[in-house]
Structure 1
Amino acid sequence: MTDQANHRRKLALIGNGMAGINALEQLLKLTNSFDIAVYGEEPYPNYNRIQLSYVLEGSKTIDEIVLNDRKWYEDNGIELHTGTKVVRIDTEAKRLYTSDGDSAAYDVLIIATGSRPFVLPVPGAHLAGVVGFRDIADCSAMIEASKRARQAAVIGGGLLGLEAAKGLVQLGMETTVVHLMDTLMERQLDRAAAGMLKAELERQGIRFRMETKTTELFGDGEVAGLRFEDGTELAAQLVVMAAGIVPNAEWARASGIEVGRGIVVDDYMRTSAPDVYAVGECCEHRGVCYGLVAPLFEQGAVLAKHLAGAPTEPYAGSSVSTKLKISGVDVFSAGEYEETADHRVLRRQDEWRGVYKKVLLRGNRIVGAVLYGDATDAPQLTKLIREGAEMTEERYGQLFGEGEGCRGGTDKGIAAVQGMADDEIVCGCNGVTKGAIIRVIREDGLTTVDAIKARTGATRSCGGCKPVVEQLLQLVLGDGFREQDAPKQGICGCTSHDREEIVAAIREKRLTSVREVMAVMDWRNPEGCSKCRPAVNYYLGLIWPAEHEDERDSRFVNERLHANIQKDGTFSVIPRMYGGVTSPEQLRTIADVADKYSVKMVKVTGGQRIDLLGVEKKDLPAIWEELGLPSGYGYAKALRTVKTCVGSRFCRFGTQDSIEMGIRLEKKFERLWMPAKFKMAVNGCPRNCAESGTKDRGRHLFEDGRGADGSDQARRPVRHDDKNGLRHDV
């Protein structure tokens, strides 16, 4: 026992992030011969930085992205120092020094300090309100800024910038991505896929300034905007720097360790200093600094075996593939992605479904691929590219055969995983194979993704392999997996309750406020988030339209402003016109408002209303005040319009007064929240001018005083009603 203790070595890890802790996890599986101390600059245990965008948008809490809680460190005998920055190491004395004046000896040192955002070297870059997007502190600063600021700019159109922009839009900010290049994600996507992605993100409310160089950030103490090379400006009270990363290596250079762009390491992750190693984004291997999770974990696996004295192949670099979900869109690229003259290109593009696939061949060898919208074939293509496989008729049929293009097609996905070899990697981040996942499903009786994650590590890091793991579960367990075994999801990370449970509780317990729902149902985050608060407020309005306490701040931006945001960031204003009837006075008012505020377009809608398009957000309060008309709710899950024909008032074939009924119906049901947008119509003659049979609810009035109902957009048969519509209590 004493001999064993005397042989234990002191291992210090500088950096408490994903790369370093993963290396420790793999080392602990091989040996218990080290006394380990971990030094992390942040006050948190190891968490999943890849999922910071979920925290920003409010769908996950900080606790939910923690990968190793403090108990894990205790259980493994690891001495954890959070909130501690290492500022210098003495490689000869084998001692490290922290910013608070402490020092500690080591026998083996691992540096895994990661990277920091690249800050543009422009005037104003250090103004208040300018942040990166690399850690929880950045995320918290962005959330706080969204409470007081209206406009945000994200510098950089790569993955990190787009994820930040998505979160800021969901926080209600007008967000513009400023990108130097002419396409998004130019290091992963070709022009076609990048163009489709940009169009989709614009539909989600993100604005773009492409081919734009920022020369200055301006403001008096706090950032107020950006100035560009062409002399134009953009107002912004929050600026996110997401134009790249810089390895955290300066202090290593000051300590005498060789540093290029990052800390230079060999094929066993050794630095130029004895017994000092480096892994992750802070290091440079064969001239390359990696920023994706899978290569960093591959480095950690080699390092762990080397330190444990286990046989290992040297690290020879990583074949990088990128499988991501950006704002709900699956994106994948691997190998070469931009075609040249010596490539043969196999391509399929379906803009209606939002699906794009490109495979590049050199000769007949598969050397690269880009997928957009449907990444079902990503595991197969990754393997084929890694192996340098030849294209065959069978492979072509699998990749481009019938049924290709269906977004998230389950049958196609099952067929794809069925054809995977057992040794094929499913989770590139943690090296988990198809065979390993199949084995724990069959032998250990696992039935959920979470159980597989806990046992194997698959889906634990970036989460990109989750669809494949679900398909493997369905392959083994059959069709019952989704109904019986899929884990129940809460409406967001603040609660484990789904929609049905929340609605049932509101009804049964007669809950009438958002705060009451969250308290009674034991919300994890008692304040809720930007996802659940609007949802709960909507459920309350749907169930108790007269009694509930409406939280205006919990409504989505369209509902708060009574206008519908458009792809260019302007808004559409639709006043209500009961039964499609207006007056000269109303029309004059609308015309005056349109002129005064330079409305881009005035359009008659299909629901017999007038739509003012291209309205600036700042003008909305004044426009509504000057119109003096109620909102037509052209943005909400509510009654939109009751379309009418002129009926017996003017029509030669009129049977009853359809206009009066339409007005009464619209006044009866306006402002009533519904499960979806709801449109009605009333016909007062046999010619069906109001098209009542194609609406969600329609009335057709006959000459003999009877009426007929049509509903659900003509999917149900029209039925007669014995009562005259005008006498009917609507």
Structure 2
Amino acid sequence: RIMLSPVLADEKTIDEIMINDLDWYKDNDITLHTDSTITSINRSSKAVVDDKGNSYDYDKLLIATGSNPFILPIEGHDLDGVIGFRDIADVDQMIDAAKNHKNAIVIGGGLLGLEAANGLMKQGMNVTVVHLLADLMEMQLDSTASQMLLTSLRERGMSFKLEAQTQKLIADDSGRVKQIEFSDESAMDADLVVMAVGIRPNFILAQESGIHCERGIVVDDTMLTFDPSIYAVGECIQHRGLCYGLVAPLFEQAKVCANHLAEYGIGMYEGSVTSTKLKVTGIDLFSAGNFKGTENSEDLVFQDVARGVYKKIVIENDIIIGSVMYGDTIDGSWYFQLMKDENNIADMRDRLLFGQAHVGDSGHGPLDMVAAMDDSAEICGCNGVCKGDIVSAINEKNLFTLEDVRAHTKASSSCGSCTGLVEQLIATTLGGEYSESPKKKPICGCTENTKQEVHDFIFKNDFDTVFEVFAKMDWENADGCHVCRPEVNYYLLAANPDYEDDAQSRFINERSHGNIQKDGTYSVVPRMWGGVTTPLELRTIADVVDKFNIPTMKVTGGQRIDLFGVTKEDLPKVWKDLGAGGLVSGHAYGKSLRTVKTCAGDTWCRFGTKDSMGMGVTLEKMTWGSWMPHKFKLAVSGCPRNCAEATIKDFGLVAVQSGWELHVGGNGGIKVRVTDLLTRVESDEEAIEYVGAYCQLYREDALYLERTAPWIDRVGLSFVTEQLVDDEANRKALHARFLVSQLKTQNDPWKERAEGAQSHQFEVITQ
């Protein structure tokens, strides 16, 4: 059932999610009766009877009847078009509805509801999620992570009605649902209503047979019911007062139950620590344990709003008791294992938030951690695979790759969140014989092609639209998705200066020409050439702030002024007034040239050796508006004292007595990288040519979302040197191509939007 969401989203087929085919049952001497429902249990004669009247004797009986979706007991709940989301039949109904109907309402903003909504959107329906509370997934996320998730889903086109209580469903003349009405008497059109408001253990069969039930079938630590011949596992049970609605506890319960059915008699189930992962492609979310904390707990929190990353680790007595991760979940399995094992984290507390790779000492490296795990440690929660299962399979079946392990154990074959842990386990088991997975990592779920393959194919061919690329490269989704469309659109821009930019294939910030802030407002950053401004510009900014009641102005590290708290409705008017004062977009929202930071230089500074301000202004006016694989920053320092911090920028110029030192590949932020010295030049003209050539080389060679620092680490400084320093003709050609590409891009997007161009940000993508 956990893989129904990818089926609804067209990411997997029914055949792909089947745990075992019919031959598997025959091969393992299991008699399978399909299309057969057990209607009664005769405990005195130890027999079960099915709906066809057939009777089957048992020595031991295992009940695994699961759960039923909870359907709100409101007027209209039994109309056609009102369903739950629990089985293949529900998925088939949703897919059929999407072919003939338009508007879908999902009641419930929990894990299952959001996955259903995502799948229905992929099927081309207009989807609104109705939720009782203000926060989504409140059982798995704190408010911060919930609001980040809400923002991401809204950017994808999903609509929400929060803090809303459904009152009744209204039918059309044919008896199918047509409208949903709320307690505030508002209403919405609905051709399909999916109720995802929870589950109820399915224990009626057990209860009718006299087995003790409360909220579920009550079992002990061996999974035995009050009848010594009857066991129960899964969502139908109640253990130590708890009922579980996730798959991972079932695997733990099943192992204990199998141990006792086989009469080993040593397994004990003591409850489960659970984790959650949302199966929506492109959204990374992980939650585990008590993320709300206790009176005595502490929170370790990391948040990077610009990158959409949030991590919270809840600690009590130096033990992790819960975690929430959004945007970067690569260490989720590691935190989860630390929590399950109740490891003391005191000696790594100061580095814990930065992940396993940053713990750093010889006893806490990723491979050391995996090697130290007990064989019973769970690696894959989706399929209930523990460390011992994987190690045994590797050794007994001579497995060497991730694909081998997936095929033989099913570990990492479902949601994929444990892939890193599985690869580390393969590495520790095989040592030097470990083979990195030969399977390439696709750009997204729409294709099997990698980022490099897509990049190279576009640069070797001529295309006019992203859809031509999708068709030529056999994309499974002919319209692409939010992951691949921006990337393909960028490669087309970089490869062909005549290409018409597809505004619909850009990220929301680039479509909005502003950075969305956590409260839903926007920040606006006008460009200040080389960090130099004028009284008119400052007066214009001040007037705009007063006129539109903008709450905050801040001087940025890039020597500009950021206006925070601009409402979406005011954006065009703010842009228009700024433009009237001669200000243009600073592209603070884009994968583009951001800033050119300068110092006072020899114009004013007694230590200055060259005119850094003048050079900065010249470079910014040459490079502004250019689209890059990622954000790009320049700096010009007027002397070796380097007040403009040129040696941590993507391209930095430092003035010396003989001319300019040219530095490349720097990066600030969490992982600082100091630039590499590319070369030294004597004249301003040479320096300017190098900047243009370097920009174009980066634009043409780097992969989308690859900053210059990791790009140079990947290709090597020698590659850049060969292209720019050793080959003068190539350098001049690159610079010329850059200037040509700028002819179509140096248009102020704020002015265009204020005048009505590209006024729509979204279009409905259907398949």
TM-score range, shorter chain: 0.5 to 0.7
1:17-55 CA-to-partner distances (Å, cap 9, x unmatched) read: 4xxxxxxxxxxxxxxxxxxxxxxxxxxxxx624xx3x67
Among residues 511, 516, 528, which one is paired with 1:560 in the alignment? 511
1:447 matched to which residue of 2? 400
Deviation at 1:534, TM superposition (A): 2.1
Where does 1:109-188 land on structure 2 (aligned, <5 Å)? 114-115=66-67, 118=70
Checking the alignment, whether the CA contact within 8 Å between 1:155 and 1:241 is kept in structure 2 is: yes
- For residue 612 of structure 1, give the secondary structure of its aligned residue in structure 2: strand
Post-superposition offset of 1:505 = 2.0
Q: Which amino acid aligns with 1:529?
A: C
Aligned position for 1:27: none
Worse-matched range after superposition: 119-128 or 509-518? 119-128
1:162 CA displacement: 8.0
CA contact (8 A) 2:7 2:13 kept: no
Checking the alignment, whether the CA contact within 8 Å between 2:403 and 2:437 is kept in structure 1 is no
Pair 553,199 (structure 1): closer, same or farther in 2 beyond 3 Å: closer
| Structure 1 residues not aligned, in runs of 5+ | 1-16, 18-46, 98-102, 385-394
Please point out which of 478, 488, 494 is paired with 1:536.
488
**Aligned 8 A contact 2:202 2:236 in 1:** yes
Query: Offset at 1:215?
Result: 4.7
Q: Distance in 2 between matches of 1:670 and 1:185?
A: 43
> Which residue does the alignment assign to 2:457?
505
**Superposition deviation, residue 292 in structure 1:** 1.9
Summarize deviations over 1:483-515 as a string: whole Å, max 9, x none: x33643212222222212221222233455322
Cα drift, residue 639 of structure 1: 0.4
Calculate the aligned-residue CA RMSD, in Å: 6.0
Q: Which residue of 2 aligns with 1:473?
A: 426
1:215-294 aligned at under 5 Å gives the runs 215=165, 244-247=198-201, 264=217, 280-282=234-236, 288-294=242-248
Q: Which of these residues, 450, 455, 477, is aligned with residue 525 of structure 1?
A: 477
Q: Does the CA contact (< 8 Å) of 2:164 and 2:182 recur in 1? A: no
| TM-score, length-scaled by structure 2 | 0.62
- Which amino acid in the other structure matches residue 723 of structure 1? S
Counterpart check, 1:617 vs 2:572: no
Deviation at 1:111, TM superposition (A): 8.0
Partner-residue secondary structure (3-state), 1:559: helix
Letter in 2 for 1:698: G
> In the alignment, what sits opposite 1:634?
588
**What are the Cα deviations for residues 644-700 of structure 1, in whole angstroms up to 9, with x where unaligned?**
457677888877665554444223323322232111234567886655444322335
Distance in 1 of aligned mates of 2:590 and 2:432: 36
Aligned to 2:675: 715
Worse-superposed segment, 457-466 or 675-684? 457-466
> CA 1:88–1:196 in 2, change beyond 3 Å: closer, same or farther?
same
Instruction: Answer whether contact 1:492 1:531 (CA < 8 A) is retained.
Output: yes
Q: Distance in 2 between matches of 1:254 and 1:303?
A: 20
Aligned counterparts of 1:686 and 1:461: Cα–Cα separation in 2: 54
Distance 1:716 1:471, change over 3 A: closer
- Equivalent in the alignment of 1:48: 3
Closer, same or farther in 2 for the Cα pair 1:404/1:166, shift >3 Å? farther
Task: Tell me the amino acid that sits aligned with residue 370 of structure 2.
Answer: V
Match of 2:21 in 1: 72
Cα distance in 2 for residues equivalent to 1:337 and 1:243: 21
Q: Residue 692 and residue 423 in structure 1: after superposition, are their counterparts in 2 closer, same or farther (change >3 A)?
A: closer
1:408 equivalent among 332, 344, 356: 356
> Residue 83 of structure 2 contacts residue 195 of structure 2 at CA under 8 Å; is this kept in 1?
yes
How many aligned residue pairs are there?
Answer: 629
Once residues 236 and 646 of structure 1 are traced to their aligned partners in structure 2, the CA distance between those partners, rounded to angstroms, is 62
Structure 1: how far apart are the matches of 2:107 and 2:491? Answer: 33
**Separation of aligned partners in 1, 2:391 and 2:292:** 32
Alignment of 1:376 onto 2:334: yes
Unaligned runs of 5+ in 2: 156-161, 171-177, 304-309, 326-330, 359-363, 667-673, 693-767
**1:437 & 1:691 partners in 2: Cα distance?**
50
SS at match of 1:246: strand
User: 1:431/1:201 Cα in 2 relative to 1: closer, same or farther (>3 Å)?
Assistant: closer
Distance 1:728 1:301, change over 3 A: closer
Structure-1 separation of matches of 2:247 and 2:640: 66
- CA displacement at 1:551 relative to structure 2: 2.5
Whole-angstrom distance in 2 between the partners of 1:174 and 1:641: 40
Distance 1:688 1:337, change over 3 A: closer
The whole-number CA distance in structure 2 between the counterparts of 1:606 and 1:403 is 26
Hey, what does 2:549 align to over in structure 1?
A: 598
> Which has the larger displacement, 413-422 or 497-506?
413-422
Shift, 1:407, TM fit: 0.5
Change (3 A) 1:441 1:536: same
Aligned 8 A contact 2:135 2:147 in 1 = no
Aligned ranges for residues 331-410 of structure 1 at < 5 Å?
Answer: 331-333=287-289, 349=300, 351=302, 354=311, 356=313, 358=315, 369-370=321-322, 374=331, 375-376=333-334, 378-379=336-337, 382=340, 396=344, 406-409=354-357
State the secondary structure of the residue aligned to 2:662: strand
Q: Distance between the aligned counterparts of 2:419 and 2:374, measured in 1? A: 18
Deviation at 1:562, TM superposition (A): 1.1
Match in the other structure for 2:709: none
1:612-691 matched pairs, under 5 angstroms? 612-625=563-576, 627-628=578-579, 630-644=584-598, 661-683=615-637, 690-691=644-645
Distance in 2 between the 1:178 and 1:166 partners? 15
In 2, are the aligned partners of 1:218 and 1:224 still within 8 Å (CA)? yes
Mean alpha-carbon deviation: is it higher for 565-574 or for 600-609?
A: 600-609
Q: In the alignment, which residue of structure 1 is the partner of 2:728? A: none
Amino acid in the other structure paired with 2:394: I
C-alpha separation between the residues in 2 aligned to 1:376 and 1:668? 47
AA paired with 2:243?
C
Question: CA shift at 1:473, angstroms?
Answer: 0.6
1:470/1:304 CA distance change after superposition, 3 Å: same
